[in-house]
Amino acid sequence: MRRRRHVVGVALLAGVIGVTSAFAPGGSIQSFKVTSTLDGKKVLPLRSHWKATPHISASQVKKVEFLVDGHWLWTEHQTPYYYGGGGREGNKANWLITSFLKPGRHTFTVKVFASGGSTASDKVRARAIQAPPPPSELAGTWKHTVDGKTITLSITTLGWGSPRDKFDARYEAGGRIVFGPLVVFPHMSAGARLGGFCNGIDPLHTWTYTAAADDQSFQLQPVGKDPCPDRQHGLEGTWTRVG
């Protein structure tokens, strides 16, 4: 009977050691785990929320990095940790929009940096799908005048905007477009990573376009009032083809 109590005592002690050994003297962390919302996925949709969950206290997290194929794309410092940011605003979290990736398998990594210098990573190998091209009458480069200034944008598979800064567009039947947030991709400008039209995560909103018969211009109008006033001010009206 004494031997049985002795075995149980050793087992309990081992369990306590297993829990506490993750912490070094002084409270710094030696080992911990991180998971992400991409875990278990084999094929990614074109748009999805990518959230990292470190299994330690938020006070012990210094930063979370998001990488695709080993290339850094985003760093988040505030919980909840979403790729592209904005998670602290509830359902206004940004999206992982894979239009910048070639169709095929890619590696999606979250890396957590904790107090004391410890790190933990979570890697997912999943296939990105082909992004649909824009309607043929919209593809190309366009210009538009706002407050006496000419704005130029390009419309490509990646989205709408400049060659280095793109915002998302989802094409629907009947000449409808759902505009969304910025597409975070490797070569976008550093400033664009920090905000869009609304100086934050641009909300989804539906617009309509009407293309001229010769495809040299189109009219762009929001359905109702766009909740992002700067986007409505900058995009609404007539666009003419460049070149």
Read off the pTM: 0.83
Question: In the predicted model, is pLDDT for residue 9 greater than 60?
Answer: no
Look at residue 135 and tell me if it is in a domain: no
For residue 81, the enclosing domain spans 28-128
Number of structural domains (the chain) is 2
pLDDT at 21: 32
* Alpha carbon distance 184, 168 (integer Å): 10
- Domain membership of residue 225 (yes or no) is yes
Domain check: are 188 and 223 in the same one? yes
Pair 43, 123 in one domain: yes
| Residue 5 included in any domain | no
20-64, pLDDT tens digit by residue? 234 454 455 668 999 999 999 999 999 999 999 999 999 999 999
pLDDT score at 88: 66
Percent of the chain with pLDDT over 90: 73
Looking at residue 69, which CATH number applies to its domain? Answer: 2.60.40.10
Instruction: For residue 31, count other CB atoms closer than 10 A to its CB.
Output: 13
Residue 115 exposure: Cα atoms within 13 Å on the Cβ side: 12
Confidence at residue 199, expressed as pLDDT on a 0 to 100 scale:
78
Residue 123 placed within a domain: yes
d(Cα 132, Cα 46) in Å, to the nearest integer?
9
Would you say residue 90 has pLDDT above 70? no
Q: Is the domain of 182 the same as that of 109?
A: no
- At residue 127, the 3 state secondary structure works out as strand
How far is 77 from 94, CA to CA, in rounded Å?
Answer: 15
- How far apart, in whole angstroms, are the C-alpha atoms of residue 75 and residue 133? 29
Q: Which residue among 99, 128, 157 closes a domain? A: 128
- Rounded mean pLDDT of 84-91? 71
Mark whether 164 and 81 lie in a shared domain.
Answer: no
Spatial distance between the Cα atoms of 83 and 23, rounded to a whole number of angstroms: 28
For the ranges 20-24, 82-86, 103-107, the lowest mean pLDDT is seen at 20-24
Pairing of strands 104-114, 96-97: unpaired
* Residues 112 and 57 grouped into a single domain: yes
Look at residue 85 and tell me whether its pLDDT is greater than 60. yes
- Per-residue pLDDT at 96 exceeds 80: yes
For residue 117, what is the DSSP state?
Answer: G
Q: Is the pLDDT of residue 17 over 80?
A: no
What's the rounded Cα separation, in Å, for the pair 159 and 164?
A: 11
Q: What backbone phi and psi angles, to 5 degrees, belong to 166?
A: -125, 145
Has residue 16 got a pLDDT over 50? no
Instruction: Say if residue 212 is in the same domain as residue 154.
Output: yes
Asked if residues 135 and 162 have their Cβ atoms less than 8 Å apart, the reply is: no
**For all residues of the chain together, what is the average pLDDT?**
87
Choosing from 62, 97, 128, the residue where a domain stops is: 128
71 near 178, Cβ under 8 Å? no
If asked whether residues 117 and 160 sit together in one domain, one would say no
Residue 1: pLDDT over 50: no
Is there a domain that residue 13 lies in? no
Regarding whether 223 and 171 lie in a shared domain, the answer is yes
pLDDT score of 163: 82
Cα–Cα dist 134/132, whole Å:
7
Residues 188, 98 share a domain: no
Instruction: Specify whether 122 is located in the same domain as 33.
Output: yes
The tens digit of pLDDT for each residue in 169-228 reads: 999 999 999 999 999 988 887 766 777 898 778 999 999 999 999 999 999 999 999 999
Q: Which of 71, 104, 128 is the last residue of a domain?
A: 128
